[in-house]
Chain A
Amino acid sequence: MKQSKTTELLVGMFVAAGLAALFVLAMQVSNLSTLSQGNSYQLKARFDNIGGLKVRSPVTAGGVRVGRVAGIEYDDQRYQAVVTLLVEDKYDHFPDDTSASIFTAGLLGEQYISLDPGGSEEYLQDGSEIEITQSALVLEKLVSKFLFSKTSEGK
């Protein structure tokens, strides 16, 4: 069968364009560039209340993204939420008295975990648990606490 070179060329260009577009979607649009999977280590942290934290929420240190939340479970023995964090390998100098807090980005933004390094000489290893944690601030609790303190002041 005769098949013109142009046909092959055009189809080749079409396939290349499609693959290039897929590549753009993967590299430029999605989080592939910010997330290097496999090259990270796990930490665990327990919180009394995680608020609106979700799997894939960011983990930051000093405002810089260093990892993400990999899993959230509930420990019904200690009545606490257990959060698994994946932190990139290149950030492996967190002291073992680092604290983890759940903050909210902006008033309505999503929640994230912020790591605050302590002063210990020992570093967190893969699988270590972060001892010092601060739970999420739940707006309702905050408001009720505020009203409560107001009323007690008024007495």
Chain B
Amino acid sequence: MPQAPTDKQSDALVRIRGLYFTRGERVIFDGVDMDIPRGSVTAIMGPSGTGKTTLLQLIGGQLVPDRGSVQVDGQEVQDLSRSQLYELRKRMGMLFQSGALLTDLDVFDNVAFPLREHTDLPESMIRDLVLMKLQAVGLRGARDLQPSELSGGMARRVALARAIALDPMMIMYDEPFTGQDPISKGALLKLIRLLNDALGLTSIIVSHDVEETEEISDYIYVISGGRVVGHGTPETLANTDSEWVRQFMRGLPDGPVPFHYPAPDYRDDLLQA
């Protein structure tokens, strides 16, 4: 259900307005507006180092914006008290780049972790729930493995099972495709779509892998230099007017982002010695 951010605003689960964020001297976001509609898979793309992960941390309330607002499900994240924030986070899942599995627990206990921390369910019910979640990501048979025994793709799938353990309303994926072999990528693509549609989730994907992201997302934001430089459905972005977006989406080596880092004239530089 692709849609422009301006219309049907009430449908936006995450609404970002005038976001301004600095880290030290560096301006990471300089006035970002963004709407993430409910029930869709929305991708946030951009070159490395544009603060895509930072954006997820701002949505999750791990960082506080210098100016502007981040609303999740109608709540201003930066104004929430600690306990309200924790309540909100129970309804958010986040898939870290590394999986972030707890290394001292095995697969089963990792998936059971949020259930045990936040519910008083009896052990038998936890077992059922964990096996269901593991079955959903296809790793029910791997429940007794230690995180160190998992491949990168499997670790992410376990982390995904853990992220959906509390049946959240949204999941944020931080670079889910980076460093994955084609089979794992395929599995993740299938899972993201499947979970999104079957569980009625809202998914936010942060990535710079154009191909996979285009394939899966309903709507794409491209950010660069602290601003949104383009947004639209994958199809519209493919035929965009913006030179920059075209360079990024097609992976061209030269364009608005020059191949050469700014340097004095080549000939002068050589002759100087």
Chain A interface residues toward B at CB < 8 A: 1-2
Contacts and interface: CB of A to CB of B under 8 A. Distances in A.
| Main DSSP-derived SS at the A contact region | loop
Nearest to B113: A1
A12 to B, nearest CB: 20
The secondary-structure label for the interface of chain B is helix
A1 B117 CA distance: 10
CB-based closest 4 A-B pairs: A1-B109, A1-B116, A2-B109, A1-B105
Interface in B46-101: none
Contacts of B105: 1
A7 to B, nearest CB: 12
Contacts of B109: 1-2
Contacts of B116: 1
4 contacts: A1-B105, A1-B109, A1-B116, A2-B109
A124 to B, nearest CB: 67
Contacts of A1: 105, 109, 116
B143 to A, nearest CB: 12
Interface of B: 105, 109, 116
A45 to B, nearest CB: 65
Nearest to B116: A1
A68 B25 CA distance: 71
B188 to A, nearest CB: 29
A1 B116 CA distance: 8
A65 B109 CA distance: 63
A1 B105 CA distance: 9
A1 B111 CA distance: 11
A16 B105 CA distance: 27
Nearest to B108: A2
B63 to A, nearest CB: 31
A108 B116 CA distance: 68
B12 to A, nearest CB: 39
B108 to A, nearest CB: 8
Nearest to A2: B109
B149 to A, nearest CB: 17
A2 B105 CA distance: 9
Nearest to B105: A1
A140 to B, nearest CB: 70
Contacts of A2: 109
A119 to B, nearest CB: 77
A149 to B, nearest CB: 83
Nearest to B106: A2
Nearest to B112: A1
A102 B116 CA distance: 70
A90 to B, nearest CB: 57
A136 B5 CA distance: 99
A2 B116 CA distance: 12
B88 to A, nearest CB: 26
A3 to B, nearest CB: 10
B111 to A, nearest CB: 13
A1 B109 CA distance: 7
